[in-house]
Amino acid sequence: MQSLIFLRSLYGFLLLGCFFIFIGCEKTTQIVTPITDNSILTNPAVQPKVILTNPVDGGVGPFNLFAPGRNYAKPYFFIQFNKLMDISTFNSRAVSVEGFGYSVTAYPQILFYSGPSSYTDIVGFFVYRVSSYSSDRVLYPIGKKITVKIDSSVQDVNGNHLATPYSFTFTPEPFFRTVEFSPQDNDTIAPSYFTTTVVFNNDVNSTIFSSLHFSPSINGRWNMSGIPSYEAVFTPTSSLPFSSQYTITVDQNARDVVGNPIHVSAQSHFFTSPFTIISSDPSDGSTNNSLGSLIAVNFSGRMDTASVHSAYSISPVTNGNFSFGYSQLIFQPSRGLLPGTIYTVTIGNTARAYDGTVIAQPFTFSFSTQPFEISSTYPNDGDIGVSKQSYITVNFQCGIDTSTISSAFTIQPAVAGTFSSYYNSSFQFLHTEPFSGNTVYTVRISKALKTYSGGNLPEDYIFSFTTEP
C-alpha cells in the first residue's frame, strides 16, 4: 500500500502539469483538482463515487479531448473518483458507450502510470469499434449525443463497489468542422518539401476538393490520405517560390461524406522560407571533429549547383571533391583534415537557388579538428609477460602517411623487422626474430609521423613492455 501511495503522489504531481493537455477551456468542461489526501484515496471505510467527468454531463463540444489530428492520442473522456480505482474492473461489461450508431468498446487507461496491478482515481477512456477487421479509434458522430454508463461492479483499491451505476451524456461534435491545418497557421516552411493537409472531424471524399482554395493559386493535386478519410492532402507539382505568403481556405460549401455542411469556413496562412542555409555539419563552433570528416551544407531548398560551388571557400585552403544533392552540398577533403586546426567555411552571396533566387545572406561557420594522437597500442604501456612472438601494433584515430612510419619508429633494444599497415589508421611492427626473454623493450613514435593530410604527431609517444622469461 505504501508503494501505491508513493505512485499516487508522483502521479498527482505529474498530472497537475498536464491537465491542460487533456482539458479544454470550453464552458462545459471542468478543471480537475487531484486529491492529495492519500488517507481518503485508500481508506477502506470510504465508499467510491464519481466526483467529476470530462466532458461534464450535458456538455456540448468541441472539447480539447480526442479528435483527428494532433489530439488523436488524447482520451475520449475521463472520470475522476474519490478513491483509487482498480483499473482491471473497468471491462466491457462494466463500461458501455452509446450513441455511435454501432457497437463500440471503451478501453480504460491510466494516463501516467500502469502496471500489472494498477490503480488510479482518474480513468481515461479510448473508444474502438467492435470489429474483427479494425482496431482504429472511431470518430465521434456529428450532432449526436454520447452516453457513458458505468456499472456498479467497478471496484476501488479496497474492493468496494460503486453504490449505484453512474451515467453521463454529452455532445462532443455538434457540427462538421475543420480541425486543423498543416502547415499550421503562420508556419514558415521549406518550399522544396511542401505538402498541405487539412484535417476534418468526419470523413470526407473528393467532392470536398472544390471547397479547398489556395491564394495565390498553386499548381498541384488534392488526394485523400485513405478511403474513408478525414484528411485531404495537397501535393504541388513543383517547388514553391522562396519568401512567399499563402492562404488556404475551406469555404462554406464544404460537406462531409453524409452531407453535413461545414459549420464555418476556415483559413490558415503560411510562409515559404527565403533561400538560405539551414544547417551545416560540422556545426558552427563544434570541436574535436574527426580528421576524416566530410563537410556538408544544407540549404532551405533546391540550389543551383554551379553558383554554390563557386561561392564555396574554406580556410585553410583544402583540396577536395564536391557532390550535390537536391539541397545539400558535400565537400570531401582529398587527404583529410589537418589535426588541431580551426577551419572556416564560407558560402558567399553569389550562391543562388535553382530559380535564380540569390541567397539571403552569406553564411560562415567554423569548427576545429581533433589532435593527432595514438589511440592505443599493443602491448600496452607497462605490460609484463608479453609473448616473445607478439607483434607490436599502434592504432590511430585517423589515417596516417604510411611513408613516415619507418623514420618515426624506434625500439630499444634494437630489433630487426618490417612494417604492415591496416586501413591507414594502424600499423604493426613485425619482428623477424622473437623478442629476447625477460627483457624490457621501449618503443618511441616520434613527431616525424604524419597524418594523411600532412599534420605531425604533436610530441613523441613512448611506451614500454616486458617480455616473458
Residues 153 and 23 in one domain: yes
* Cβ(420)–Cβ(304) below 8 Å: no
The whole-number pLDDT of residue 337 equals 94
Average pLDDT over residues 83-104: 94
Helix (H), strand (E), coil (C) string for the chain: CHHHHHHHHHHHHHHHHHHHHHCCCCCCCCCCCCCCCHHHHCCCCCCCCEEEEECCCCCECCCCCCCCHHHCCCCCEEEEEEEEEEHHHCCCCCEEEECCCCCEEEEEEECCCCCCCCEEEEEEEEEEECCCCCCCECCCCCCCCEEEEECCCCEECCCCECCCCEEEEEECCCCECEEEEECCCCEEECHHHCCEEEEEEEEECHHHHHHEEEECCCCEEEEECCCCEEEEEEEECCCCCCCCEEEEEECCCCECCCCCEECCCEEEEEEECCCCEEEEECCCCCCCECCCCCEEEEECCCECHHHHHHHEEEECCCCEEEEECCCEEEEEECCCCCCCCEEEEEECCCCEECCCCECCCCEEEEEEECCCCEEEEECCCCEEEECCCCCEEEEECCCECHHHHHHHEEEECCCCEEEEEECCCEEEEEECCCCCCCCEEEEEECCCCEECCCCECCCCEEEEEEECC
* Cβ(150)–Cβ(167) below 8 Å: yes
Res. 239 pLDDT band, cuts 50 70 90: confident
Res. 8 pLDDT band, cuts 50 70 90: very low
pLDDT cut 90: percent of the chain above it:
80
Residues 139 and 258 in one domain: no
Nearest to 54 by CA among 87, 18, 90, 30: 30
Q: Which CATH number goes with the domain that contains 75?
A: 2.60.40.1220
Q: Which residues, at least 6 apart from 93, have a Cβ–Cβ distance to it below 8 Å?
A: 151, 153
pTM of the model as a whole: 0.73
The whole-number pLDDT of residue 19 equals 40
Domain boundary (349, 368, 387) is at: 368
Residues 142 and 190 in one domain: no
* Cβ(465)–Cβ(440) below 8 Å: yes
The whole-number pLDDT of residue 339 equals 94
- Residue 15: is its pLDDT beyond 80? no
Residues 90 and 42 in one domain: yes
Q: How many residues does the chain have?
A: 469
* Residue bearing the bigger pLDDT, 17 or 421: 421
- Residue 277: is its pLDDT beyond 70? yes
- Which of 207-216, 220-229, 241-250, 390-399 shows the lowest mean pLDDT across its residues? 220-229
Residues 21 and 148 in one domain: yes
User: Could you give the C-alpha distances from 69 to 64, 92, 198, 249, in angstroms and in order?
Assistant: 12, 27, 9, 18
Residues 150 and 30 in one domain: yes
Number of domains in the chain: 4
For the chain, the first-to-last Cα distance in angstroms comes to: 66
Residues 111 and 22 in one domain: yes
Res. 422 pLDDT band, cuts 50 70 90: confident
- Residue 311: is its pLDDT beyond 70? yes
The whole-number pLDDT of residue 112 equals 54
Domain boundary (170, 192, 222) is at: 170
Q: What is the mean pLDDT of the chain?
A: 89
Domain boundary (115, 147, 170) is at: 170
Res. 342 pLDDT band, cuts 50 70 90: very high
Residues 141 and 189 in one domain: no
Structural domain span for residue 285: 277-368
- Tens-digit pLDDT profile for residues 144-160: 999 999 999 999 999 99
- Residue 256: is its pLDDT beyond 90? yes
Residues 146 and 42 in one domain: yes
The whole-number pLDDT of residue 131 equals 73
The whole-number pLDDT of residue 135 equals 59
- Which of 64-78, 102-116, 309-323, 433-447 shows the lowest mean pLDDT across its residues? 102-116
Res. 13 pLDDT band, cuts 50 70 90: very low
Residues 268 and 364 in one domain: no
- Tens-digit pLDDT profile for residues 382-399: 999 999 999 999 999 888
The whole-number pLDDT of residue 34 equals 57
The whole-number pLDDT of residue 20 equals 37
- Which of 27-41, 335-349, 449-463 shows the lowest mean pLDDT across its residues? 27-41
Residues 35 and 145 in one domain: yes
Average pLDDT over residues 90-97: 95
- Residue 347: is its pLDDT beyond 50? yes
Res. 375 pLDDT band, cuts 50 70 90: very high
Residues 205 and 142 in one domain: no
Average pLDDT over residues 51-57: 96
Q: Which CATH number goes with the domain that contains 288?
A: 2.60.40.3710
- Tens-digit pLDDT profile for residues 164-204: 999 999 999 999 999 999 999 999 998 876 899 999 999 99
